[in-house]
Structures are given as structure tokens and as C-alpha cells.
Amino acid sequence: MDYQAFLNRLTTSGNLRTIPQELSDTVIDMSTNDYMGYAADASLQKRFFSSDNISIPLTSSASRLLAATQRHYNALENKLNELYGRPALLFNSGYHANTGLISGLTDATDIILADKLVHASIIDGMKLSDAAHARWRHNDSHHLERLIQRYRAEQPDARIWIVAESVYSMDGDVAPIGSLIDLKQRYGNVMIYIDEAHAVGCMGHMGRGVVADNPRAAMVDVIVGTFGKALASQGAFAILSPTLREVAVNRCRSFIFSTAMPPMSAAWTLFVLEHSLSQDDRRSHLAALSARMRSNLGLEPGTHIVPYIIGDAVRTVEISRSLLNAGIKILPIRTPTVPPGTERLRISLNASMTESQIDMVSETILNVCNR
């Protein structure tokens, strides 16, 4: 590879990524995944550190299978088990969870069918897996069913994995969970894997995400959630059966061969999770902010992730810079994160915002885009 030529091509196309500078406190940041506003809640942090938590180790110094300190991980997994009714397993990040689980729970006898817009970590997990894989058109359960029929005819004994996200990170739309469960029941020997990274903590009763509110939630075999978004921490978790958990502990390389998250992080996550359980009113406020923002911008109803399509990489970058000059940080999303021609502003809402702030941001976006 000619490295400089590669960078030059990205620059010319408007797709060169750079690490942003730290912002002043006066800028409204609408590019983070702090959907519930906990990350900036100083009072929450003060309450955590005012207890005995200050003495918790800052590092595990080993992988989970070798770590001497386990009680903080066990406490968090036990709480998740209580919430979801199934065992939980912690990972260092959502990326670690998806790459490790998808490659570790499948082998050459499996077939993975993934939504076209699943996260890069899921795609990388499929690449690491020995299983055959194919993609179905985004949120199109009819296309998925045709793929199931085709592969089932070719390999009658193969186990099929349906892989999707409950809320998609770049479009903010929701997967047809009920339809996926219907397909599982209709065809048999089908497993369902749902990534709830952008739903856990900020959607569903008690913030358990989208799947848990479905009366057939038990039909979803693997649920993945993250702590680094709405729950203002780091790491991730998987909800799965006792058997699958044991397989994961023995086959997921990202779990086996990586230093475990700091015990302090596990303790903080448990603290925030327990706080979040009683915050359904705050989640309702977040949903109301989304409805208001989308109405202001002339968009269809949806979730707390609001995509505003520009359609050109260079123009999207220019608009993002103009918004930052106006005191609003909304980063441009470009190829390859999204398909060419769908370059956009990804507006990430925060439950600590007010309706007047939403109106001001909406008006500024429209003014900048219409110049």
C-alpha cells in the first residue's frame, strides 16, 4: 500500500478521519452516546465515590480466567442475571463481545445471516468465524426468510444464526424483533443474536432494551449490551443460556486472552445500572425529545439517534464545522461507516437536554444546511 496516496484519496473524497479536539464546556455535544446524561452527572459520581468504592482495585492485572479479584464482576453479572432471567458474561467492550461471541459460538457447520447494516464488530466476528455467512436487506424479514429457505434446502442440518441490532447506530431505526422470532419458530434449528448496544439503559422498561419487553424475549438466544453508552461506563455483556455461557468462556478468544476490565469499572457500572432501573421517566423524556427533534427537522418518528442525511461527504464536513462554530458539535458520518450518497449528521440526543435546547439546535441545523 502507498500510505500517502491512500491518505490523499481520503482527503480528496472528504472521508479522512481525524481525532477531534477537546471541546469547551460551552459547546453542546450531540455526538456522544451518553443517551441518559449520566456521564456528565457530577452528583452521581460523587455518590459513588462517597461510599467504600474508593478502595476498589483500579486494575485486574490479569484475564478474567486468571484474575484474583472476582467479586465485582460476579456482582454485576448477578444483577444482569436478575434483570434478564438468564446468565450474563462480561466483556471489555461491545467490539470484544461481538467478535468473540460470533466467532466462538459458531463453527463450519453453522450459517450466519446478518442484517446489511449491522455494526463493524459483527462483520469482523463473521470474518473470524468458520461459518458461512450472508447478508439480508436491512430490516427486510421477507428477504431473510428467502435466504433461510435457500440455505435450509442446501444444508438441511445446518444451524442458522439470525443476527441483527435492536436499534441501528447510524439510522436509529428498530429491528423487527417479532418477525425474527416468527422465523425462528417457523423453521427450527435457528438461533437469534441481537446487539442492543444503543438500547440498553435508554429504552424499554427499566432500561433493559428492546428485546426484554417482547413477550417472547426468551426466544432470543443471545443479547449483547454495552456499558459505554447510556450507562456511562465501559465494557459490555452478553445474556445467554448456561450452556452457551460455558461455551463462550471456553471458546471466545476476546474473553480468554484479554485483561479483564478494572474491578473499579465493574463496580461503577453496577452502581449506574442500579440507579438507571428507576429512571423510566427520564427514558420517556428522551423519547419525547426525539419526537420533537424529528418533527422540527421534518423526519419520520424514531429513536434517540436522529440521522439527518446530507448525501455528500465534503458538504457534510462543511456543515459539521459550521455547526461547531455555532456552538453545536455534531460530527459528520461518511463512507465507509455509511453507504456512499447517505453521508449524514448523526444527531445523538441526551436525556439531560431541554425542549428549548432541542428547538435551538433544530433551528441552527436548518439554517446552516439551507445557506
Residue 253 lies in a domain: yes
Rounded CA separation 92/358 (Å): 34
Distance (Å, whole) CA 162 – CA 148: 9
Nearest to 359 by CA among 314, 316, 295: 295
Tell me, yes or no, whether 267 and 299 share the same domain.
no
Q: How far apart are CA 294 and CA 292, in angstroms?
A: 6
153 and 288 housed in the same domain: no
Whether 271 maps to a domain, the answer reads yes
Identify the sign of the CA torsion 212, 142, 133, 309: negative
User: Are residue 351 and residue 249 in the same domain, yes or no?
Assistant: no
The CATH number for 102's domain is: 3.40.640.10
Residue 25: its pLDDT value, please? 77
Task: State the cell numbers at 84.
Answer: 434478564
Domain boundary among 249, 276, 303: 276
Strands 222-226 and 190-195: parallel
Whether residues 148 and 199 fall in one domain? yes
3-state DSSP of 323-342: HHHCCEECCEECCCCCCCCC
Q: Residue 191: beta bridge partners?
A: 161
3 state SS of 54: helix
d(CA 48, CA 267): 9
What are the cell numbers at 184? 425462528
Query: At 66, phi and psi to the nearest 5?
Result: -120, -10
Residue 121 lies in a domain: yes
The residue with cell 467504600 is: 52
Q: What is residue 260's three-state secondary structure?
A: coil
- The answer to whether position 43 is within a domain reads no
- CATH number of the structural domain spanning residue 291: 3.90.1150.10
Residue 70 lies in a domain: yes
Dihedral sign (CA 240, 72, 279, 36)? negative
Residue 205 backbone dihedrals phi, psi, to 5 degrees = -60, 130
Residue where one domain finishes, among candidates 214, 246, 276: 276
- Do residues 228 and 303 share a domain? no
Residues of the chain where predicted confidence (pLDDT) is lower than 70: none
pLDDT at position 26, please?
A: 85
Residue 353 in any domain: the answer is yes
CB under 8 Å to 253, separation ≥6 — which residues? 100, 103, 104
Q: Are residues 213 and 240 in the same domain?
A: yes
The one-letter code for the residue type at 109 is T
Q: Does some domain include residue 236?
A: yes
Shared domain for 284 and 310, answered yes or no, is: yes
- Which amino acid appears at position 42 of this protein? A
Q: Where a domain ends, among 258, 276, 294?
A: 276
What are phi and psi for residue 29, nearest 5 degrees?
A: -95, 110
HSE (side-chain half, CA atoms, 13 Å) at 101: 33
161 in Cβ contact with 129 (< 8 Å): no
In 310-353, which ranges are continuous DSSP H helix? Answer: 313-325
Under a CB-based contact definition with an 8 Å cutoff, are residues 332 and 320 in contact? yes
The stretches of the chain forming alpha helices (DSSP H) are 3-13, 42-49, 71-84, 94-104, 120-128, 141-154, 177-187, 242-251, 253-256, 263-276, 280-296, 313-325, 355-369
> In terms of domains, do 237 and 365 share one?
no
Domain count, the chain: 2
67 and 130 in a single domain? The answer is yes
- CA–CA dist 78, 80 (Å, integer): 5
199/262 same-domain check = yes
127 and 245 both lie in a single domain: yes
All cell numbers assigned to 165:
441490532
* 157 and 231 belong to one structural domain: yes
Domain extent, residue 284, equals 279-369
Is 44 part of any domain?
no
β-pairing, 332-333 vs 344-348, is antiparallel
Using DSSP's 3-state secondary structure scheme, residue 133 falls into strand
